[in-house]
Structure 1
Amino acid sequence: MRLTLLATAFGLAASAALAAPPGLMLDKTYMPHHDAMAVTAIWYPGDGSGTTRIVAENPVFQGVEVSTTTRIAPGAHPVVLFSHGMGGMYRTQAWLAAGLAARGAIVLAVNHPNSTWGDFDMGAGVHHWTRAQDLSTALDALLAQPDFAGHIDTSRVMAAGFSFGGWTALSLGGVRGNHAGTVAAYTRFGARMEACEMLLSERVNLQGVAPEDWNGDYADPRVTHVTAIDPGFVWGLEPADVAGLSVPTQLIGFGDAATRMLATDFDASGLRALLPEAQAHQLVPGVHFTAMPLCKPAGAAILAAEEDDPVCTDPDGTDRAAVHDAIIALIADQLGL
């Protein structure tokens, strides 16, 4: 499905469903596979109590309104296990977490050790299986929390993620890596594909990762749905690698032939053809960075002065807020919200 101005319609429908400001609780969870603590963020539907404040705001990005004191709304709520992209953090897609929580979902996000802003080691961060383990461990902790345990609908547990996190979501749903296929694809493309040279560099050494680790099964049987937003590591897969994915799945991409990121192109890579039952949505106009937060007026100039990625720059005609609303609506619809 190609979504253009339909994004605005999705946004209007989703906005109409907004209730009380969502709640946000920050915690830390011990990750035994890292032997380290990781920050976890639990966004949840609030009952209207408490006071609100803005979080995830900085000179470049707009923040979102939440309450850190509200009680959880009555009832059982679906859970979204959300995985950020390489170098992101729980704040990076706060717009998505807060939007889903306002519509009735509990969103559990983790600052993945080694691949988070402020805690970044690309050589270790590329060990994708640890991210799936992060979210499975965080879900264990969430289910044991007295404040939330009685409010979780275990029949609706979605794994979702953006970019590298999109692969994490697919992995939690049952997709397995194909080390030989991925390395061969990146070697073939080289500088023509984003990040290939860096991933194959001596510093990262993707080709030196143990195939048995890369190709392992990291599915969480509690996951009932998957949403992968512009997912990475989608090249080099074969039918056997996706055979374990049997839950309802949707793929969400950005852009057209001129703006689509090759590394996350689930059509050109063949992933979409391998998943004929999955729903696929292409948001046009847009680009990979359209999944980043809404930018303040000075955001683009600040990033340019710092020679940082142009994450505030969308293709002409893109309404980033409407695209965000469309993604929230697609996920909410899949969860029956």
Structure 2
Amino acid sequence: MKTGIVSCSLLLFGFLVFQSCNSGKQILQTAGTTFINGDALPDAPELAARGEYTVGVRNFELVNKNQVDILHSKNGVDPLYDRHLQVEVWYPANAAGKKELVTYNSTLGLWNDTARPLIPFSFLGRAVRDAAPVETAGKFPLVIVSHGYPGSRLLLTYLTENLASKGYIVVAIDHTESTYTDRAGFQSTLLNRAKDILFVLNEMDSLSQAGTNHFLAGITDAKNTALIGYSMGGYGVLNAAGAGYSAKLDSSFGVMTGGSKAIEVRTTNNVAFNASYDTRIKAVVAFAPWGMQRGVWDAAGLQGLHVPILFIAGSQDDVSGYEEGIKAIYTGALNANRYLLTYINARHNVAPNPPPAAALQPGVNFNEYYHYAEPSWNEHRINNINQHFVTAFIGGILQKKDYGKYLDVQPNSNEKTWTGFKNRSSTGLELLHALPKLFISE
């Protein structure tokens, strides 16, 4: 929030925000006057605006029974365990007379890392906790969100709230053994990302059926689903949507796990993988998807993608890679109608909320700030642009809205202001579009 005073930080206490500045003064603000993640800046593009619905939010647990406990595999033997997954759900709500304000509780740091101890923190969002869902004669499309490694289900609240306000049921997963509070061996993330996503899709489909007494029963259209993933979440959503993992990953996984072949079921041309193709998935948004530069995918695997995909990346991504990473995935997904939105000079953090106030405090490890921060871009600005393009992309597919003009723009945003952007405000971006190979050949 711009106040005309430099070097300010926000400290959250319940529903109040104290802004401490280098002038030595302290300004007490109510949440009604505080900029909250996802709010529209003056130069926000058109579709960044919130939709017509009040947003409700709830948390509950799903349990995927009898899954491979890859962290305890030994000599090629895979024990089983139950995977407990916390999920946060945002939805159109009936909350007349209630203030659209919620406090989210999250954590900085890494479990079992003395250099980065766990630091609880809170931040505000624009939703009503445990509100009743809106009464409707129809159903809302489903969106499933998968975070990075490590991360949390609350990493993209600016986007999850925004989409729910536009008529979506949005479910974000805490991937067990991959969050800040329980981060464990990387092999769990490699194995379980896509499996968690598909399990949650099945569970949401089941819970939405009439007679379940679930609060989402009758209003969730799981047969009309979009997947959104960031970094390792991007890795997961691409696999869940049809991109089989390579033989190289299968081999590396076996070495990492003492001979386990558990990941074979998610590799290209595997019988179980081919049978898992899910027609309920209609669109994918992959923020900075990881793995291409590590040999996770090959040409055959990427050609398994047939659903429309929006890739979002920074041209200087030093985690997932750009030319040989994210852009190479975009190029190789020959059978998908796909877009690549690039933030020129941005690095990896093109998806999350901006750094929380807790990460700005003296004595906190710099890595807590840089886990969120983007060095070349204003992250509230990135958030607004993401809201705009994700709305345009999935809205045209899942809600059949006429949003094509927002995507049908010249690749270089510096040449002419893009449709939906205020005059002179669309600089520093590139949007590429490629049609499916089979479509082109016709």
Indicate the SS of the match to 1:114.
coil
Confirm or deny that 1:26 pairs with 2:59. Answer: yes
Cα displacement string for residues 140-167 of structure 1 (whole angstroms, at most 9, x for unaligned residues): 3442454323222345310111110011
Confirm or deny that 1:85 pairs with 2:143. Answer: no
Aligned-residue offset at 1:308? 3.8
Aligned-residue offset at 1:25? 1.2
Aligned-residue offset at 1:64? 1.3
Distance in 2 between the 1:303 and 1:213 partners? 45
Call closer, same or farther: CA 1:57–1:35 in 2, change over 3 Å. Answer: closer
- 1:110 corresponds, among 152, 173, 176, to 173
Distance in 1 between the 2:350 and 2:393 partners? 21
Higher relative contact order (CA 8 A, sep 6+): 1
Stretches of structure 2 that go unaligned for 5 or more consecutive residues are 1-39, 68-80, 107-119, 400-442
Confirm or deny that 1:239 pairs with 2:299. Answer: yes
Q: Map 1:1-337 onto structure 2 (within 5 A).
A: 11-32=44-65, 33=67, 34-49=81-96, 50-56=98-104, 62-73=123-134, 74=136, 75-122=138-185, 123-128=187-192, 129-144=194-209, 146-154=214-222, 156-180=224-248, 205=256, 210=261, 212-215=264-267, 217=273, 218-235=276-293, 236=295, 237-254=297-314, 256=315, 259-265=316-322, 267-268=324-325, 270-276=328-334, 277-296=337-356, 299-302=359-362, 304-305=364-365, 308=368, 310-316=370-376, 318-336=377-395
Judge which range, 109-118 or 160-169, deviates more.
109-118
Distance in 2 between the 1:15 and 1:209 partners? 45
Indicate the SS of the match to 1:261.
coil
Cα displacement string for residues 187-230 of structure 1 (whole angstroms, at most 9, x for unaligned residues): xxxxxxxxxxxx99x8xx27955252451525433111111111
The structure carrying a bigger helix percent of its residues is 1
Indicate the SS of the match to 1:25.
strand
Judge which range, 86-95 or 14-23, deviates more.
14-23
Aligned pairs, number: 310
Distance in 1 between the 2:249 and 2:83 partners? 32
| Conserved 8 A contact 2:290-2:319 | no
Distance in 2 between the 1:239 and 1:24 partners? 40
Judge which range, 106-115 or 238-247, deviates more.
238-247
Distance in 1 between the 2:131 and 2:57 partners? 8
Aligned-residue offset at 1:168? 1.2
Call closer, same or farther: CA 1:77–1:103 in 2, change over 3 Å. Answer: same
Call closer, same or farther: CA 1:172–1:139 in 2, change over 3 Å. Answer: farther
Aligned-residue offset at 1:297? 5.5
Distance in 2 between the 1:132 and 1:69 partners? 23
Indicate the SS of the match to 2:290.
coil
For 1:189, the equivalent position in structure 2 comes to none
Aligned-residue offset at 1:98? 0.9
Distance in 2 between the 1:106 and 1:234 partners? 30
Distance in 1 between the 2:82 and 2:199 partners? 11
| Conserved 8 A contact 1:45-1:101 | yes
The structure carrying a bigger strand percent of its residues is 2
Aligned-residue offset at 1:60? 6.6
> Identity across aligned pairs (percent)?
18
Indicate the structure (1 or 2) with the bigger Cα radius of gyration: 2
Aligned-residue offset at 1:302? 4.8
RMSD (Å), alpha carbons = 3.2
Call closer, same or farther: CA 1:90–1:138 in 2, change over 3 Å. Answer: farther
Indicate the SS of the match to 2:331.
helix
Stretches of structure 1 that go unaligned for 5 or more consecutive residues are 1-6, 185-198
| Conserved 8 A contact 2:313-2:342 | yes
Distance in 1 between the 2:233 and 2:363 partners? 23
Distance in 2 between the 1:302 and 1:138 partners? 43
TM-score by length of 2: 0.62
